[in-house]
Amino acid sequence: MQNKPDAQLIREYAEDGDESAFREIVVRHTDLIYSSALRQTNCPDLASDVIQGVFTDLARKAPALAKSLDENASLLGWLYRSTRFAALTQMRNDRRRQDRERQAMENLDPAPETALEWERIRPVLDDAMAELSEADRDALLLRFFKNQDFRAVGASLGVSNDTAQKRVSRALDRLRAGFTRRGVTTSALALATALSANAVSLAPAGLTASLATTALASASAATTVTATITKTIAMTTLQKALITAVAATVIGAGIYGAHHVASLRNELEALQQQQATLNSQLDQLRHERDDATNRLATTRRDMEQSGSSEDKKALLKLRAEVVRLRGLAGSPTEVEANALSAKVGKLKQRLEKFPEAKIPELQLLSEEDWLFAAKGKLDTDADYRRALAALRNAAGDKFVGLISPAVNQFAKANNGQFPTDLSQLGSFLNTPMDDSIMQRWEVAPAQTVKNVSVGGDFIITQKAAPVDDLFDSRFVIGVGGYGSTDYLSADAGEALTPVYQAYNAANSGQTFTDPAQLLPYATTPDQQAWIQKLIQRDALGK
């Protein structure tokens, strides 16, 4: 199994339910993904949470990935990119706490020169890696993060040894250029040495063993919860009572308590045994309630005719019985499910109230995507702003996932050519795309989005301006893969490059932790305006 490519392993898990295949993927890539998350969060606990989410997401998306991957493809790039997105989200939400807790977490003891070089490049490594094309990023990950020789790199990428060596060299030069834009200069030899010695740290003992089990259990729990809550949204209160007992435990243990896997499995087994009994009891309660309601109606009618004190007592007794039965029919689970359903309703009402926040791509979202977006706070305008942006970004990611395979198929059928118009992709799409969605995207020159490189001279990206330029993401599809960046970074990057370089030069190569630190180095009104937007985004994101 250790010699099988990632694509075959994920296919065995997706199609045959082979959990040992999934565990092999986790064991194979944990150290690299953990190291990437650790560099970006600077906190082992947060890094563990990030990669737990990445592997859980992998288990959930396994069926779709199994269909889209080539026979010998590696999941390394997908895992690395997913870790990047998850870490950025975690950092944005936990900025204040991370600023207090940031500390160096190096498990290796490299030579002094290598350690010094590593401390210079470590803070900006993942930002620079995120700008590379998928092909260049995979080459560097295999060569320096996995420390594979060029023959192994070539085999993984499907190219010759010489081609692999040239690709790695070219990718290393592009990575160095990314460092230079951030005010960090280094040589190719120093960069290669620092990456080989420091890029991968050992994950904490026991973490690898628990990741696969937790991810598999969480993916299963998420599916159960989504189905349960989706039905709950459309059912009456009495019908919801039939599923409340199972949903409560799955929601509490499966999503919010993923670390307690053993407890979750035991509770699920117990619930399966109790389900028939619960259904019977709830049916009996429903019958008793209906009977009491009928008797109440009969007594009220009789009382209206006679008006006796005995009838009044009977009426009060029946009213108390109905209240009691209604209380039994409800449960904390129903309350929780209704609360989450209500938050989804609030998001949809918000979109109706502010239609300018709506984009056609939202029709690609599943009920699970809506539930995920609604699980955060919805108390302030900023909360709604972040939640709606999360929905739009999830919708953009869905679009990219559907279009990117079509671009690859088009290129194969047209001698490697990139489409000149999106209408050319119609026959290559596995899922028909609504015209209102396609009209929002265009084929544009690659320099349109300068801080994301996906290879080639042209890209596919959004045509329209962002709904929210602080939180919306811009997606890019090219011949070398696809990537994304937030609109603010894409638009501000070129203007703020001199500011970043000036800050780094004045602070011994250290990167900033708060955008306000950049203000003294802004020399133009344009630069100051961009920095104020960065500050505003950080304030709203906390």
Return the higher-pLDDT residue of 393 and 275.
Answer: 393
Return the higher-pLDDT residue of 281 and 39.
Answer: 39
Decide if 66 contacts 14 (C-beta within 8 A): yes
Element (H, E) at 483: strand 481-486
Report the C-alpha gap between 227 and 494 in whole angstroms: 46
Q: Where are the domains of the chain?
A: 6-208, 235-340, 386-542
Return the higher-pLDDT residue of 86 and 452.
Answer: 86
pLDDT at 305 over 80: no
Closest CA to 463 of 481, 478, 444: 444
pLDDT tens across 17-74, in order? 888 888 888 988 888 888 888 888 888 878 888 888 898 889 888 888 888 888 888 8
Return the higher-pLDDT residue of 94 and 485.
Answer: 485
User: What integer is the mean pLDDT of 477-504?
Assistant: 82
Report the C-alpha gap between 338 and 349 in whole angstroms: 16
The pLDDT of residue 201: 64
- E strands, 354-401, are none
The pLDDT of residue 271: 52
pLDDT tens across 431-483, in order? 888 999 999 999 999 888 877 778 788 999 998 788 988 889 899 998 877 88
Closest CA to 21 of 8, 32, 33: 8
This prediction has a pTM of: 0.43
pLDDT at 249 over 50: no
User: Own/partner pairs for 143-146, CB < 8 Å, 24+ apart?
Assistant: 143/168, 144/192, 144/195, 144/196, 144/199, 145/32, 145/35, 145/195, 145/199, 145/200, 146/32, 146/76, 146/200
How many helices, marked H, and strands, marked E, lie in the chain? Answer: 21, 4
User: Between the CA of residue 182 and those of 117, 145, 498, what are the distances in Å?
Assistant: 15, 22, 8
User: What integer is the mean pLDDT of 484-488?
Assistant: 81
The pLDDT of residue 459: 93
pLDDT tens across 343-373, in order? 888 989 999 999 888 999 999 998 878 887 8
Helices 525-541 and 76-93 pack at an angle, to 10 degrees, of 90
Decide if 265 contacts 217 (C-beta within 8 A): yes
pLDDT interval class at 208 (50, 70, 90) = low
DSSP state of 2: T
Decide if 508 contacts 123 (C-beta within 8 A): no
User: Which residue has 């499910």 as its token pair?
Assistant: 337
User: Which residue has 């050519």 as its token pair?
Assistant: 417
User: What integer is the mean pLDDT of 415-422?
Assistant: 91
6-208 in CATH: which number?
A: 1.10.10.10
Tokens of 477: 């599809």
User: What integer is the mean pLDDT of 155-168?
Assistant: 80
The pLDDT of residue 60: 87
The pLDDT of residue 233: 36
Q: Choose the most confident range, by mean pLDDT, from 152-161, 271-280, 284-293, 451-460.
A: 451-460
CB-based contacts of 337: which residues, under 8 Å, 6+ apart? Answer: 228, 229, 232, 240, 244, 247, 251
The pLDDT of residue 502: 87
The pLDDT of residue 103: 40
| Rg of the Cα atoms in the chain | 28
Tokens of 482: 């696809």
User: What integer is the mean pLDDT of 480-500?
Assistant: 80
